[in-house]
Amino acid sequence: MNKIDKKQKINNDLIPLIGKKKEIIGFEEKNTIHEKGILHSAVSVFIFNMKNDLMIQKRSFNKYHSSLLWTNTCCSHPKKHESLLDAAHRCLINEMGFDCFLKKKFCFIYNELLNNGLIENELDHVFVGYYEKNPNINYKEVNNWDWISVKKLIQNIQVNPKSYTIWLKIIINKYINKLLKK
């Protein structure tokens, strides 16, 4: 599927644009944001079990970027007038079919060109939760899922980095201590 075909599949909700002081300065459609590389808000959710294994997902083929790559439990963008926490819960319910208590751990900015010419320029807000059951995945959003130890995930990313999303690699490589800090 080429860039234009994938662009047509984008849900064009208005996404918060972020200014120099990390404040919301406006709203724009998702396709415009990713085509122009405009700094915008995102949420990433990491769900662990009591053994500290991470629930990861393989993104659906239908995703407009990073399809069929392994990533954190789920991720999304807040919609206009939606809180970051509400966006994280919405995403968890929509993609993984469950909800649980979430706590915001940290945020960071990254700017990366994706393989299909789109640009991720995000202020990514990272949330962590704990859950013991298996998810009920939405196959329109998620191709597969698994529990994995953080140690094994780090090893897998080193051996096969092209199998993982850019934001997961950044979080695991740069922020793992913040992610696991209780």
Domain residue spans of the chain: 3-180
Residue 122 is a catalytic residue:
yes
Q: Residue 75 catalytic? A: yes
User: What would the two tokens of residue 125 be?
Assistant: 């807000």
Catalytic residue among 75, 82, 120, 141: 75
In this structure, what token pair is assigned to residue 116? 């299909």
Predicted pLDDT of residue 64: 83
**Of 41, 34, 33, which Cα lies nearest the Cα of 16?**
41
Predicted pLDDT at 179: 85
DSSP character at residue 83: -
pTM greater than 0.85 (yes/no): yes
Q: Is the pLDDT of residue 165 over 80?
A: yes
Q: Choosing from 95, 120, 122, 141, which is the catalytic residue?
A: 122
In this structure, are residues 37 and 65 in contact, taking their beta carbons and an 8 Å threshold? no
pLDDT reported for residue 115: 79
Q: How confident is the model at residue 8 (pLDDT cuts 50, 70, 90)?
A: very low
Is a pLDDT exceeding 60 seen at residue 1?
no
Q: How many angstroms separate the CA atoms of 47 and 128, rounded?
A: 6
CA angle 88, 127, 86 (to 5 degrees): 25
- Please tell me the predicted confidence (pLDDT) of residue 112: 94
Q: Is the pLDDT of residue 180 over 90?
A: no
| pLDDT the model gives residue 122 | 97
Q: Which two tokens stand for residue 96?
A: 């993984």
Phi, psi of 42 (to 5 degrees): -145, 165
CA torsion 46-71-28-79 (nearest 10°) is -40
3-180: CATH superfamily: Nucleoside Triphosphate Pyrophosphohydrolase (3.90.79.10)
Start-to-end CA distance of the chain, whole Å, equals 42
Contact 36, 118 (CB under 8 A): no
- Residue-wise pLDDT for 111-127, tens only, equals 999 878 899 999 999 99
Average pLDDT, the chain: 92
Strands (E), 6-60: 14-18, 24-29, 40-48, 53-59
Q: Which residue has the tokens 């999304």?
A: 76
Residue 41 above 80 pLDDT?
yes
pLDDT confidence of 39, banded at 50, 70, 90?
A: very high
What confidence score (pLDDT) does residue 177 get? Answer: 86
